[in-house]
Chain A
Amino acid sequence: MKTMTLLLSLGLTAYLVTAQAQDSYTLTITDHGVEPQTLVVPAGVKIPLAVVNRTSGPIELEGKAFNSEMVAPPNGQTKGYIGPLQAGDYAFYNDYNRQMTGMIRSH
């Protein structure tokens, strides 16, 4: 019983403290493009990411760094989590405007 309790406690603790970045990162989308053009994030941890849309149209960001598309309404924002990512460069784009691209660099 004690062993089971200890194992359950360790498992729960491991789950609760699953590596996650403490800081929130932000991508800002303007009529001039993505800021920053290359977002640098730590590898191996889940990243809280805010996407701020300062354009008059919606944006939908897709790329290998995103498990799920991130959609922000016109002049609005959205929040989500990406990763954990292996070290490397991950390009992304806006589905509504394929000319609008950016990079997430994980290291």
Chain B
Amino acid sequence: MLFRFSGPVCCLLVQLITFSVPVFADDDYIVYSPHVVKGQTEIESRAYAVSDSRPGFAPSNGYLLSLGHTFTDYWKSEVYVSEYQHLPGSGNSLYGHEWENTFQLTDRGEYIVDWGFLAAYSQHTLPGIADTLELGPLIEKDSGRLQQRLNILAEKDLGSNATLRYALRGGYALSYRVTNQFQPGFEAYYRPIDNAHQIGPMIQGELFLANGKEVEYSFGMLRGLNNGAPQNVIVARMSYEFF
């Protein structure tokens, strides 16, 4: 498999890096994999909760529900049917909806790392918050039991509340497969736009069920590395996958 979208992807990456200037960005505690499996359907739920003694940081939490399907050998599409957030001083609010697309660009093991690309559009329902377009490469390196993922994503505001700037954020995940069900590791997030950087231990795993069904989970706690980040964030993800 060659780089199917190498030309336009490279041009877009150059443009994003050249014009990246900090703007407000959503919280998104996940490091995406570039791999997709044709014909697989996924129901996913994610949640986070902030613990912080400083005013203005807590209580804050959010959760979302999404439905995804992989239509081809290289394209997975996912719709976030609901995203809720509870911010300090407000109740639970429907934050919006999102349409997310993952493109697998290379075959597993073909190059030093496996490449993919993310393209996502978010519609935000809260007043004053612009819709956003998010783009960027997804990278994975599997070395036996060790798995590493890196995402470098850029977000651009759209619509009447849009600013003219881009927001860059990065995510890195490392895990070691002790067993399929138990894969400890850590995740780190770099969010210059929020001046918030976080890192923390994670446990993930996959549980194989009958008839080709599978449950994947991950739980962890992220610690803030600087004053702009929440002191602690508990993150939980679970997905049910089937054909």
Contact indicator B110/A80 (Cβ below 8 Å): yes
Contact of A95 among B109, B144, B208, B211 (CB under 8 A): B208
Give chain B nearest CB distance to A76 CB in angstroms: 6
Contact indicator A79/B107 (Cβ below 8 Å): yes
Interface pick from B37-45, B84-92, B123-131, B153-161: B37-45
Contact of A58 among B140, B144, B212 (CB under 8 A): B212
Contact indicator A67/B243 (Cβ below 8 Å): no
Contact indicator A73/B38 (Cβ below 8 Å): yes
Contacts of A96 in B (CB 8 A): 208, 212
Name B116-162 residues within 8 Å CB distance of A: 140, 142-144
Contact of B108 among A57, A64, A74, A80 (CB under 8 A): A80
Contact indicator B39/A79 (Cβ below 8 Å): no
Contact indicator B38/A76 (Cβ below 8 Å): yes
Q: What are the interface flags for A63-89 relative to B under an 8 Å C-beta threshold, 1 for contact and 0 otherwise?
A: 010011111111010111110000000
Q: What are the interface flags for B200-243 relative to A under an 8 Å C-beta threshold, 1 for contact and 0 otherwise?
A: 00000000100110000000000000000000000000000001
Cα of A94 to Cα of B143 in the assembled complex, Å = 19
Contact indicator B212/A67 (Cβ below 8 Å): no
18 further interface pairs, Cβ-Cβ under 8 Å (given A72-B37, A73-B40): A46-B109, A57-B211, A58-B243, A60-B208, A67-B109, A67-B144, A68-B142, A69-B142, A70-B108, A71-B37, A73-B37, A73-B38, A73-B39, A73-B243, A78-B73, A80-B109, A82-B109, A95-B180
B interface with A by C-beta (< 8 Å): 1, 35, 37-40, 73, 107-110, 114, 140, 142-144, 180, 208, 211-212, 243
A interface with B by C-beta (< 8 Å): 46, 48, 57-58, 60, 64, 67-74, 76, 78-82, 95-96
